[in-house]
């Protein structure tokens, strides 16, 4: 019978071709393949163009290493799936809090020796370096970027609501007033906060800290502190009394950025380095972006964060050595040497990628001041729109996130935030008491 045979033969051939195409090819011509993380899904082509330039430069200086860029986003399911498969890139980045979990799980390579050999182990800000050390002081990654929490705001919505985009709010009461005005005049959410994917707990912590709240004291969970209570009460009031928080309360990091870029949110708290991602991945119009310091009350602090370049523990020594070279060249040199800084800034600026986003130094203050001087000619982010932040951050000393079972506790807190925002009669005290109990169980168990 001709026809079924033909059909099957064609389909089989098709399938074989597709599967062969899917099979990964091994390393070619003796070069060491190094798979490195690049950007999250949806990033601009221009970002990849800039990366290609830098890839070329590195490969010129290191002719026996072949760099392969891999799309990469820090998302727990993606990470665990890739970890299970052993298909993580050889170099990837991890936020500070997750780094602790990973190194406790034994899922990061120990790089103490490599860091000390490179000679700048003592240049790191010791508080930040602490986030990547285990109990014995071994180092498991290279902190590459740090940020402080800041208040992001939409200048365009400010104008539409009759507010001055150059004088953003400086206290939580002002934030509330501004939010109300935006909601009334434009119908958009004046204020929003993240609520799911462990980001709800993260932002709740960040906002509690500004009111003097402390989530963990050693090995005791102190979630039911006054600062957190006040923050939840604040959410309740803005949501149910002022109705200035819109009507979407299932927002993770991507979701809230998307709403903000689409002009649906007036203000929210997030990392100070968010500008890069907003423009590159969420198509934000740079002209509407505003950044100021997060309002801090008497006795309060600012939460800091950042991420770390790390290596999976399962790589061979060759790959590890190459990975450290890449980390040093791509992430570290631009912080330490004029050549590195200029090279990086130029490549980014040429491809219209953000240069000069507000960050906190991972190394010491003088090194950072130097770096800013070097990249000055290439800065292309609208720093005047971020004046509030630059002016205010000098008076704020960031504190670290809670250390124990952070992501899991954040997930518990997600539910608390969601409850307060979706249930008018949510009992804040009861919710916090239960969350504290659950968090303590995690810490003890």
Partner 1 sequence: MTTTVRLPPRPSFRARRKLDESNEPEADRGILSVHDRRKRSVRNGQILSHIFLFGGLVIVGLGPLLWLAKSAVSTTQDTLTQPMALWPSGIDWANLSQAWFDVEVGKFFFNTVAIALGQWVISLLIAATAAYVMSVLRPSYARFMEAAVLATLFVPAVVLLVPLFVTVARPPIGPSLLNNYLGIWLPTAANAFNILIIKRFFDNLPFEVFEAARTDGAGPIRMFWSIALPMSKPILGVASVFIVIASLKDYLWPSLVLRGDVNLQPLGVRLPDIESQTELDVTLASLAISTLIPLVLFLIFQRVFLRGAGLGGAVKG
Partner 2 sequence: MTVLEERPELQQRLRPRRVTPRKRDRSPITWVRRGGLTTLLLALPMILVFAAYSWWPILQAIWMSFQKTNLITYQFVGIDNFIAVLNDPVLGIAVVNTLYFAVLALIFGFPLPILMAVLMSEVRKLKGFYSALAYLPVIVPPVVAVLLWTVFYKASPTGVFNTILGWVGIPPQPWIQDATQAMPSLVLEATWAAAGGSIIIYLAALLAVPPELYDAAEVDGAGIWRKIWHVTLPQLRGVIFVMLILQVIATAQVFLEPYLFTSGGPNNSTVTVLLLIFRYAFEGSLGGKYGQATALSLMLAIFLALASFVYFKVTQKWSTN
From the list 82-90, 133-141, 291-299, 420-428, the region that binds partner 1 by CB under 8 A is 82-90
Per-residue x/- mask for partner 2, residues 27 to 66, rule CB under 8 A?
----------------------------------------
The residue within the footprint of partner 2, chosen from 92, 235, 249, 326 (CB under 8 A), is 249
Q: Does 270 engage in binding with partner 2 (CB under 8 A)?
A: no
Q: Does 8 engage in binding with partner 1 (CB under 8 A)?
A: yes
Within 258-277, the residues that bind partner 1 by CB under 8 A are 258, 262
What are the angstrom distances between the C-alpha of 175 and each of 259, 269, 300?
Answer: 19, 11, 17
| Nearest CA-CA partner of 336 in 115, 183, 34 | 115
- Measured in degrees and rounded to the nearest 5, phi and psi for residue 69 equal -75, 140
Within 9-38, the residues that bind partner 1 by CB under 8 A are 11-12, 14-15, 18-19, 22-24
Residue 1 or 135 with smaller CB distance to partner 1:
1
Q: Does 281 engage in binding with partner 1 (CB under 8 A)?
A: yes
From the list 32-40, 121-129, 224-232, 246-254, the region that binds partner 2 by CB under 8 A is 246-254
Q: What is the 3-state secondary structure (H, E, C) of 345-409?
A: HHHHHHCCCCCCCCCECCECHHHHHHHHHHHHHHCCCCHHHHHHHHHHHCCCCEECCCCCCHHHH
Q: Does 76 engage in binding with partner 2 (CB under 8 A)?
A: yes
Q: Does 257 engage in binding with partner 1 (CB under 8 A)?
A: yes
Q: Does 8 engage in binding with partner 2 (CB under 8 A)?
A: no
Q: Does 380 engage in binding with partner 2 (CB under 8 A)?
A: no
Q: Does 82 engage in binding with partner 1 (CB under 8 A)?
A: yes
Q: Does 441 engage in binding with partner 1 (CB under 8 A)?
A: no
Q: Does 286 engage in binding with partner 1 (CB under 8 A)?
A: no
C-alpha 173/C-alpha 182 separation (Å) is 14
Q: Does 70 engage in binding with partner 1 (CB under 8 A)?
A: yes
Which entry of partner 2, partner 1, none binds 4, CB below 5 to 8 A by partner kind?
partner 1
Q: Does 247 engage in binding with partner 1 (CB under 8 A)?
A: no
| Nearest CA-CA partner of 328 in 351, 312, 314, 344 | 344
Size of the site for partner 1 (CB under 8 A): 33
Q: Does 171 engage in binding with partner 1 (CB under 8 A)?
A: no
From the list 78-86, 102-110, 352-360, 371-379, the region that binds partner 1 by CB under 8 A is 78-86
User: Min. distance of Cβ 407 from partner 2 in angstroms?
Assistant: 6
Q: Does 438 engage in binding with partner 2 (CB under 8 A)?
A: yes
User: Min. distance of Cβ 85 from partner 2 in angstroms?
Assistant: 9
As a residue count, the chain comes to 445
C-alpha 238/C-alpha 178 separation (Å) is 11
Which entry of partner 1, partner 2, none binds 254, CB below 5 to 8 A by partner kind?
partner 1
Q: Does 186 engage in binding with partner 2 (CB under 8 A)?
A: no
The residue within the footprint of partner 2, chosen from 47, 416, 428, 432 (CB under 8 A), is 416
User: Min. distance of Cβ 86 from partner 1 in angstroms?
Assistant: 7
Residue 40 or 313 with smaller CB distance to partner 1:
40
| Residues making contact with partner 2 (CB under 8 A) | 76-77, 79-81, 83-84, 98, 101-102, 105-107, 195-198, 246-250, 252, 313-314, 407-408, 411, 414-416, 418-419, 421-423, 438, 445
Under the rule (CB under 8 A), what is the footprint of partner 1? 1, 4, 8, 11-12, 14-15, 18-19, 22-24, 40-42, 70-71, 78, 81-82, 84-87, 252, 254-255, 257-258, 262, 281-283
């Amino acid at each position: 019978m001709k026809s079924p045979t033909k059909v099957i033969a064609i389909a089989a051939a098709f399938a074989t071709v597709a599967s062969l195409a899917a099979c990964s090819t091994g390393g070619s011509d003796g070069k060491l393949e190094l798979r490195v993380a690049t950007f999250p899904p949806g990033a601009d082509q221009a970002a990849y163009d800039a990366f290609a330039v830098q890839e070329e430069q590195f490969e010129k200086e290191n002719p026996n290493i072949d760099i392969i860029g891999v799309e990469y986003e820090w998302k727990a399911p993606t990470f665990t799936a890739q970890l299970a498969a052993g298909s993580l890139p050889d170099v990837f980045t991890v936020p500070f809090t997750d780094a602790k979990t990973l190194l406790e799980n034994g899922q990061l390579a120990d790089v103490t020796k490599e860091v000390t050999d490179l000679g700048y182990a003592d240049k790191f800000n010791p508080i930040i370096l602490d986030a990547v050390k285990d109990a014995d002081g071994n180092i498991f990654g290279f902190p590459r970027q740090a940020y402080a929490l800041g208040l992001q705001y939409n200048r365009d919505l400010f104008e539409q609501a009759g507010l001055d985009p150059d004088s953003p709010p400086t206290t939580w009461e002002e934030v509330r007033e501004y939010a109300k005005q935006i909601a009334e005049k434009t119908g958009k959410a004046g204020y929003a906060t993240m609520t799911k994917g462990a980001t709800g707990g993260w932002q709740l912590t960040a906002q509690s800290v500004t009111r003097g709240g402390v989530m963990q004291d050693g090995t005791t969970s102190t979630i039911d502190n006054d600062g957190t209570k006040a923050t939840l009460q604040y959410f309740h009031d803005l949501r149910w009394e002022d109705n200035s928080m819109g009507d979407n309360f299932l927002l993770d990091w991507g979701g809230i950025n998307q709403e903000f870029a689409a002009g649906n949110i007036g203000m929210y708290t997030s990392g100070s380095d968010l500008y890069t991602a907003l423009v590159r991945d969420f198509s934000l119009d740079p002209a509407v972006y505003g950044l100021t310091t997060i309002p801090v009350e008497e006795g309060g602090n600012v939460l800091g964060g950042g991420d770390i370049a790390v290596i999976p523990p399962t790589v061979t020594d060759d790959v590890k050595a190459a990975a450290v070279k890449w980390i040093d060249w791509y992430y570290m040199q631009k912080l330490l040497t004029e050549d590195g800084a200029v090279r990086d800034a130029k490549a980014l600026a040429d491809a219209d990628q953000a240069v000069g986003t507000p960050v906190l130094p991972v190394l010491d203050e003088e090194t950072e001041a130097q770096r800013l001087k070097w990249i000055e000619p290439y800065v292309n982010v609208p720093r005047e729109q971020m004046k509030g932040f630059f002016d205010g951050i000098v008076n704020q000393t960031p504190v670290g996130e809670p250390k124990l079972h952070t992501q899991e506790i954040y997930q518990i807190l997600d539910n608390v935030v969601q409850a307060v925002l979706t249930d008018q009669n949510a009992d804040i005290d009861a919710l916090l008491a239960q969350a504290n109990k659950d968090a303590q169980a995690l810490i003890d168990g």
